Amino acid sequence: MKIKVTGVLSHILWALFQRGGGLIIAFVANMVLSRLLTPEEFGGIGLVLIVVSMADLLVDSGLGAALIQKTNLDKNDISTVFTTNFIISVALYIIIFFLSPFFERYFSVEHLSLYLRVVSVSILIRAFTLVEGSLLAKQFRFKAMSIISVSTSAISSIVGIVMAACGFGIWSLVMRNLTQHFVSAILFRMVSRVPYCFGFNKESFKQLFGFGWFSALTSFMDLIYTNTLSSIIGKHYSVSDLGYYNQANSLQQIPTYSLSRVVNQVLFPHMSRIHESKEVLRSYARRSFIVSSFVSFPLLMFLLCFAKPIIILLYSSKWEPSVVFFQILCAGGLLNTLVHICRCILKSMGNTKLLFNIQLIVLVIGVGMLLFAQKFDIRMMVCTLVLNTIINWLILAIVVGKRIGYSLFSQMKDVLTSFIISLCALTTSRAIVILFDMNNILTLLVAGCVFVILYIGIHALFKTKAFIMCYNMCFQHTSIRH
């Protein structure tokens, strides 16, 4: 079997543009909105999205991933998934509509019920885009998906900023969210043109749901864990504290979320094609570990070290309480991409039930640590996210190692080089900055330039596997052979 790495690289680059471009636009919009709105307003929309994000995941029910993983699709499969998604979305909207007053009383936030009912309309819209998005990914049409994502983010961000400038407050965030889903649905319809057809085939549902259900439950447990933290902050501390945490999390997601989603979006369809060959799958996994650590480790470590000037420069000094949250989240993000690579491997091999069992264990441990940490302070609670990510990766790495012959020791060895070089480059750049009294802009410019030069230079000097692999992927036509 021969697999062109340049083809995979092209898909990765477009997927990076999709995720990274959308998040960068969202980041710029947040930078502007943070100067127009208050932490309380960001915290309020954060509470709304706790409920809506969990409902969104239930609408999918893992059937989108099942469409990608299944080899031979027919019209029955597509109509069954669309009909199932539509029915679930309507049921969830009705439930949220009537339960919204309960959430308002629980969090003690005025008008939260109204905000929740309006934003939840996006759940209905999502039912019309899930099938189209999954089929585009299955066809490796990442360029089209990238254009849709970036366009959607740009339009919705403009709407939010204009409304915030006009004094609409939290409604600017509400309409920004709704606009994003509405425009996305229109663009997907224009590009995909998948014929919508209501219908239900029992055999198709059994096959797709059997794979997708455990995949959806795995993602749902992740969401429960992160939303448990947000719920505790919003309930037992203050909406302002939740606003600080959400803003830090949004900024941290630009590198972490982009890379992790790219891993899922690109590697999963490719790995699903070659999952029967453990040797090729192992080669894919190793390349993914090395390349992802080469990119993510230096970026996240730099953000962690220079968090304070970054937060103040981007969001103003009123958001300084977000600094500590941002640093902790960046530390946890170092392993986040590796976790998603391991998940992709297990999913591509059809081991979704095993993956579910692993994540159930991790969820129980994580929630237990959160409940214990809430006795102390918010920082301790956020620190449990890092510890839980470490536990998650260790379990997944050991299981994956046994499945494809890629041991935990080998995985650590492959990513250790980029970590050590990042640390050396970061220590030097930090020392240089400390010697001079500079403002935030000069600090980041000088430190960033020194860091990048040292990091790339050391990799090139020692001709590390990561550097050679990335160089070959970018400038030469390479392939993985079996």
Q: How far is CA 449 from the centre of its chain?
A: 27
Cα–Cα dist 223/54, whole Å = 7
481 by DSSP, 3-state: which? strand
Query: What is the mean pLDDT of the segment spanning 82-97?
Result: 86
Lowest average pLDDT, out of 66-70, 87-91, 168-172, 232-236, goes to: 66-70
429 by DSSP, 3-state: which? helix
374 by DSSP, 3-state: which? coil
**Over 80: is that where the pLDDT of 53 sits?**
no
Q: How far is CA 65 from the centre of its chain?
A: 16
What pLDDT score was predicted for residue 434?
84
Cα–Cα dist 32/371, whole Å = 35
For residue 3, the cross-strand partners are: 480
Phi-psi region of 316 (alpha: psi -120 to 50; beta: other; left: phi over 0): left
Lowest average pLDDT, out of 41-45, 130-134, 304-308, goes to: 130-134
pLDDT band for position 208 (cuts 50, 70, 90): low
Find which of 37-46, 101-110, 276-285, 395-404 is predicted with most confidence, using mean pLDDT: 395-404
pLDDT band for position 160 (cuts 50, 70, 90): very high
Lowest average pLDDT, out of 153-162, 250-259, 344-353, 415-424, goes to: 250-259
What pLDDT score was predicted for residue 2?
43
- pTM value surpassing 0.85: no
Cα–Cα dist 179/172, whole Å = 10
pLDDT band for position 477 (cuts 50, 70, 90): very low
pLDDT band for position 5 (cuts 50, 70, 90): very low
Element (H, E) at 479: strand 479-481
What pLDDT score was predicted for residue 3?
43
**Over 60: is that where the pLDDT of 134 sits?**
yes
Lowest average pLDDT, out of 67-81, 173-187, 443-457, goes to: 67-81
Please write the tens of the pLDDT for every residue from 340-363. 888 878 877 777 788 888 888 988
Average pLDDT, the chain: 80
Lowest average pLDDT, out of 69-73, 170-174, 262-266, 281-285, goes to: 262-266
DSSP secondary-structure letter at 263? I
Residue type (1 letter), 140: F
The long-range contacts involving 433-439, CB below 8 angstroms and separated by at least 24 positions, are none
